[in-house]
Amino acid sequence: MNMLPINEVLQGDCLELLAKIPSGSIDCVFADPPFNLKKKYNSHKDKLLEIEYLAWCKAWISECVRVLKDDGFIFLHNIPKWLTFYAGFLNEIAIFRHWISWEAMTAPMGKTLQPAHYGILFYSKGEAKNRFKEVRHPHKRDRRGVLFKDYGGKKNILHPFGPLCSDVWSDIHRIRHAKNRDNHPCQLPPHLLERIILMSSEKGDVILDPFLGTGTTALAAKRLGRKFIGFEKDSEYCKIARAKLEAEKFISKVGDFYVSFHLNEIITLRECDWNGLKNYFELPQIPKDIDGQKIKLRQTIIEQKSFFDVSNHKPHNKPKELK
């Protein structure tokens, strides 16, 4: 593979496919491997001996770091138990940035603390001084786009859209309803990937996912104007991913700025875009009382009924250019 397989979903084993990617060619890797928890995949047996699983993980993690550019980022999603080993491998060859805790309740297991988060290990290959972009999520209590009520008398000093994202993500839920899922046991929500992509890449950058499943990372990259490369062992999952990508027409933008939507609201925006983006909001005249005002952006999008709906994969209309 002399040229990168840009915007392609390749069926095959990730180690064989990674071997064909040139070193230093990828901006960002996101990997969501099988967790070795006996999940029912079409063609993957999710039950290796612990020692085999970890040796396999070490092999593909090393390959993922090799293909990254010097300032590239790598994100590894898994349960904390396996991430402790991943961190051991990665500390030798990359630079730790964060352990992101993605809150997600699981069924009670008994005789143990209740696992309530997945981890996303975040490393950079080198120093990567300029790659990371701070991201914001909406205020928890005022979900109408900007802050309306004055909880605790602090409104004047709070950002009108919402706080900077920390390393604990509680506002993104797993896909709950079967009607919103593909026929895959552990599909991730696209807006989780969109947040990661917004904070770690620019338009045109290349995002690689060695365990693409039914295409979440590629879909998020496409909506955000990034390029993708996806590997997946199972032919049925590849087929679903390709069909979704083909059908996807939504560009996740407001004006010139890429943002992430979930249902009717922006769920992630970049701090560096706020000066331009704020023109699309009816911002309160702080400290004037503005109870009852509505955010222009959300209203306009709802009125146009052209909004991105995560529940199906039909082509979406792009919202008209907002005034």
Ligand X SMILES: C[S@@+](CC[C@H](N)C(=O)[O-])C[C@H]1O[C@@H](n2cnc3c(N)ncnc32)[C@H](O)[C@@H]1O
- Residues at the site binding ligand X, with contacts judged by CB under 6 A: 13-14, 32-34, 41, 44, 184, 186-188, 211, 213-214, 216, 231-234, 237
- The tokens of 308 are what? 């991105």
Report the residue number, 65 or 301, with the smaller CB distance to ligand X: 65
**In the bound complex, what is the minimum distance in angstroms from residue 143's beta carbon to ligand X?**
25
Looking up tokens 């309803």 gives: 177
Report the residue number, 10 or 158, with the smaller CB distance to ligand X: 10
**In the bound complex, what is the minimum distance in angstroms from residue 155's beta carbon to ligand X?**
38
Q: Which residues lie closer than 8 Å to 177 by C-beta, 6 or more apart?
A: 311
**In the bound complex, what is the minimum distance in angstroms from residue 164's beta carbon to ligand X?**
26
Report the residue number, 184 or 227, with the smaller CB distance to ligand X: 184
155 contacts 287 by C-beta, under 8 angstroms:
yes
Q: Which of 196, 135, 188, 208 is nearest to 166 (CA)?
A: 135
**In the bound complex, what is the minimum distance in angstroms from residue 9's beta carbon to ligand X?**
11
Report the residue number, 76 or 259, with the smaller CB distance to ligand X: 76
**In the bound complex, what is the minimum distance in angstroms from residue 187's beta carbon to ligand X?**
4
Q: Beta strands 8-11 and 227-232: pairing type?
A: parallel
* DSSP structure string for 162-214: -PBP-SEE-S-PPP--GGG--S-TTPPPHHHHHHHHHHH--TT-EEEESS-TT
When CB distances to ligand X are compared, the closest residue is 213
DSSP letter at 271? G
Report the residue number, 79 or 251, with the smaller CB distance to ligand X: 79
**In the bound complex, what is the minimum distance in angstroms from residue 34's beta carbon to ligand X?**
5
163 contacts 137 by C-beta, under 8 angstroms:
yes
**In the bound complex, what is the minimum distance in angstroms from residue 254's beta carbon to ligand X?**
25
Quote the distance between the C-alpha of residue 113 and its chain's center. 27
Report the residue number, 30 or 123, with the smaller CB distance to ligand X: 30
Give CA–CA dist 15/321, Å, rounded.
43
183 contacts 234 by C-beta, under 8 angstroms:
no
**In the bound complex, what is the minimum distance in angstroms from residue 313's beta carbon to ligand X?**
13
Q: Which of 105, 26, 103, 11 is nearest to 70 (CA)?
A: 26
Report the residue number, 207 or 297, with the smaller CB distance to ligand X: 207
Report the residue number, 211 or 308, with the smaller CB distance to ligand X: 211
Give CA–CA dist 95/271, Å, rounded.
24
SS3 label, residue 257: strand
Give CA–CA dist 8/262, Å, rounded.
25
**In the bound complex, what is the minimum distance in angstroms from residue 262's beta carbon to ligand X?**
15
Q: Is the peptide bond before 287 cis (omega within 30 degrees of 0)?
A: yes
Report the residue number, 192 or 297, with the smaller CB distance to ligand X: 192
Encoded amino acid at 148, one letter: F
